A and B are shown apart, each in its own frame.
Chain A
Amino acid sequence: MARYILRRVLLALPALFGLILLTFVLTRVIPGDPAATLAGDAATPAQLAEIRARYGLDRPILEQAFVHVRQVLTGDLGSSIFSGRPVMEEIVFRLPATLELTFAAMLLSIGLGIPLGLLAALNHNGPVDHLIRIVSVGGLAVASFWLAIMFQLLFAMEWDVLPLRGRSDLAYGAPPFHTGFYLIDSLIAGQGALFLDSLWHLILPAVTLCLPGLASIARFTRSGVLEALQKDYVLYARAAGYGRFHLAAIYVLRNAITVTVTQIGLLFGALISGAVAVEAIFDWPGLGTYAVQAILSADYKALLAVTLVVGVVYAVINVLVDVLQALIDPRVAEDIR
């Protein structure tokens, strides 16, 4: 298993290295002359040369690429061309908010999606099955930004049962920073009211964000369970006298979940994309809001840094998912050798 994990981590490295190079290509090739972009329209040739020298843009392109890779590897993602502050600082400050939201959404997706998929499979072709299928196909078709606004309209504006925006009420402010997760930090600080308030604020964004994931997890679980139920070992287990519940909820589900788990890695990509819109709408101070601000202020340094960080987080999650899958199904670790 240790060898498998090591191998899986090594496999992820080339893609990450490629990603660093890609961000370099993006900054150097696509905007044309980055110095001109940085200096603005009214820059004199002297100012341009000064900027080129300051950012190393007058060096040979390979040397620039090398410097870029070295900077990224040492955690230096450059400074925002808008605020002038190091981008990494901003990201470290905001990443926990995004992770808290996406993890909450992921937990909802998994916690509701797997039972719903199981329920649908056990009612195969029954009314419950059809209902869950329709909901799951619809869940993948709905635009998260629109759903967020509809939820705000109904739950926050019309009925006023849930907060409209933010991570916590202004009256509370933020808990002392430990992990950056309000739910955890508020508990560490012993602020029970803030914990509840943060949870309260988390509901609408997390529910909005979880829907596509919930839909796809329910679908994959359903088809996985249906497939597993056809297997000889299910027949054998029934003949050997397994209980109905044990058979469905434990024996078969574990086989079905190996497929579902591979979806969780992909799901995280969908969640991050969704988070950009959902954060912007609910004023959630995470990477998504930061990315949107970067777009509005044409801060390409910030945007590329977000791209890199998301790429790294995505890679880490996918490695974790593969390891999780190998833990559930021991054949996985051996097959890939």
Chain B
Amino acid sequence: MSALRRILRDPVATLGLLLVLFAALVAIFAPWLAPYPDDAFDSHLLQRLKPPSAEFPFGTDNLGRDILSRVILGTRSAITVAVSVVGVSMLIGVPVGLWAGWRDGWASESLMRVTDVFLAVPQLILALALGQLMAPGLFTAMVALSLTYWPFFARTVHAETRRLRTALFVDALAGIGASTPRILLAHVLPNAAPAILVRATIGMGFTILTAALLGFLGVGAAPPSPDWGLAVSEARQHLPEAWWFPTFPGLAILFLVLGFNLLGDGLRDAADPRLRRSRH
């Protein structure tokens, strides 16, 4: 709770929180907020590529669909992808980091070397290779992104666990006979939580950007999904005439990622000044 209060005292972090909350509300109520919810799939060829007007505030796309509605509907898929990818990455990376950080020996050491291998290639390249080898599509993209993002959690949690393992209170707990799982779950994990939370928030922004890029490159969401990256890709054929077509989906990406990044920055400062050096 005190962390939330510290966030609210920081105007920049508050702006981030507001952007994220706004996007979350839009995602939840997307079908009711969108002026033309059916434009997720319907096309209206007679009104294609109309510039912004009172009827279509963001204009229409190459199939005559309302871009505002598709941006709103796209919020839902962008956030779903980000939450799933970050969630799955956490489910893999946090236990790996806890275990490898707690235990010594070749098994935990080699596990961390595996994370090194994953971190040795830029994430997008690895995700592209994975995405290509499985059948391209949104689900594949999500799997590929999760498989490439978990090492970041493993790294973060590993470092935190290593630090806490040497802390006096952990020795004291072991001294009074607390079991290892209990120490890890009830004591180490809560202490590592701020670092995990910061990593997750920044990971949300990063995932949204990468997923949009995969959509743009054609290995993510497939037409006719109202995906932001896909929309920008479709818009390329209609430039320079339909400037509004790529502009608004791109701005949506910008603001949502901005929200997560600002919030992540604020959380990082609120959680622990030591974390200011964290990567990404």
A–B contact with Cβ pairs below 8 Å: the answer is yes
Q: How far is the CB of B200 from chain A (nearest CB, A)?
A: 17
Q: How far is the CB of B240 from chain A (nearest CB, A)?
A: 4
**Quick one: given A19-B117, A150-B247, A294-B132, are A145 and B124 in contact (CB under 8 Å)?**
no
A-B contact pairs, 26 of them (CB 8 A): A19-B120, A23-B129, A30-B130, A30-B133, A30-B134, A137-B261, A140-B257, A141-B254, A143-B212, A143-B232, A145-B212, A146-B212, A146-B232, A146-B249, A149-B239, A150-B250, A153-B240, A158-B240, A276-B217, A280-B217, A291-B125, A295-B132, A295-B217, A306-B125, A307-B129, A314-B122
**Quick one: given A145-B232, A158-B240, A280-B217, are A272 and B125 in contact (CB under 8 Å)?**
yes
The answer to the question of A138 belonging to the interface, with a C-beta cut-off of 8 Å to chain B, is yes
**Quick one: given A30-B134, A146-B246, A303-B129, are A311 and B253 in contact (CB under 8 Å)?**
no
B120:A18 contact, CB within 8 angstroms: yes
B120:A272 contact, CB within 8 angstroms: no
User: What residue of chain B has the Cβ atom nearest to residue A16's Cβ?
Assistant: B120
The answer to the question of B213 belonging to the interface, with a C-beta cut-off of 8 Å to chain A, is yes
In the bound complex, residues from chain B placing their C-beta under 8 Å from that of A31 are 133-134
B132:A300 contact, CB within 8 angstroms: yes
Select the residue from B130, B132, B253, B276 with max chain A CB neighbours within 10 A: B132
Q: How far is the CB of A278 from chain B (nearest CB, A)?
A: 11
B239:A310 contact, CB within 8 angstroms: no
In the complex, A294 Cα to B205 Cα: how many Å?
Answer: 27
In the complex, A153 Cα to B219 Cα: how many Å?
Answer: 24
Number of A residues near B (Cβ < 8 Å) is: 55
Show the binding face of A for B, using Cβ within 8 Å: 14-16, 18-19, 21-23, 26-27, 30-31, 133, 137-138, 140-147, 149-150, 152-153, 157-158, 223, 259, 266, 269-270, 272-273, 276-277, 280-281, 291-292, 294-296, 298, 300, 303-304, 306-307, 310-311, 314-315
The listed residue (B125, B131, B254) touching A142 by CB distance below 8 A is B254
In the bound complex, residues from chain B placing their C-beta under 8 Å from that of A292 are 217
- What secondary structure prevails in chain B residues at the interface with A? helix
In the complex, A133 Cα to B117 Cα: how many Å?
Answer: 33
User: What residue of chain A has the Cβ atom nearest to residue B205's Cβ?
Assistant: A141
A143:B253 contact, CB within 8 angstroms: yes
Beyond the given A15-B113, A19-B120, please list 11 additional residue pairs across the A-B interface where CB-CB is below 8 A: A14-B116, A15-B116, A16-B120, A26-B133, A30-B133, A137-B258, A138-B258, A143-B254, A146-B249, A150-B246, A307-B126
The answer to the question of B108 belonging to the interface, with a C-beta cut-off of 8 Å to chain A, is no
The answer to the question of B225 belonging to the interface, with a C-beta cut-off of 8 Å to chain A, is no
Q: How far is the CB of A234 from chain B (nearest CB, A)?
A: 19
Q: How far is the CB of B41 from chain A (nearest CB, A)?
A: 24
In the complex, A22 Cα to B276 Cα: how many Å?
Answer: 32
The listed residue (B132, B217, B279) touching A277 by CB distance below 8 A is B217
Q: How far is the CB of B279 from chain A (nearest CB, A)?
A: 6
A137:B265 contact, CB within 8 angstroms: yes
A149:B232 contact, CB within 8 angstroms: yes
Q: How far is the CB of B220 from chain A (nearest CB, A)?
A: 11
In the bound complex, residues from chain A placing their C-beta under 8 Å from that of B118 are 22
Select the residue from B12, B119, B217, B254 with max chain A CB neighbours within 10 A: B217
| A-facing residues in B25-72 (Cβ within 8 Å) | none
In the complex, A141 Cα to B239 Cα: how many Å?
Answer: 24
B254:A270 contact, CB within 8 angstroms: no
User: What residue of chain A has the Cβ atom nearest to residue B265's Cβ?
Assistant: A137
In the bound complex, residues from chain B placing their C-beta under 8 Å from that of A223 are 276
User: What residue of chain B has the Cβ atom nearest to residue A223's Cβ?
Assistant: B276
Q: How far is the CB of A92 from chain B (nearest CB, A)?
A: 18
In the complex, A296 Cα to B218 Cα: how many Å?
Answer: 8
**Quick one: given A15-B117, A266-B280, are A304 and B129 in contact (CB under 8 Å)?**
yes
In the complex, A150 Cα to B248 Cα: how many Å?
Answer: 11
Q: How far is the CB of A318 from chain B (nearest CB, A)?
A: 8
| A-facing residues in B226-275 (Cβ within 8 Å) | 229, 232-233, 235-236, 239-240, 243, 246-247, 249-250, 253-255, 257-258, 261-262, 265
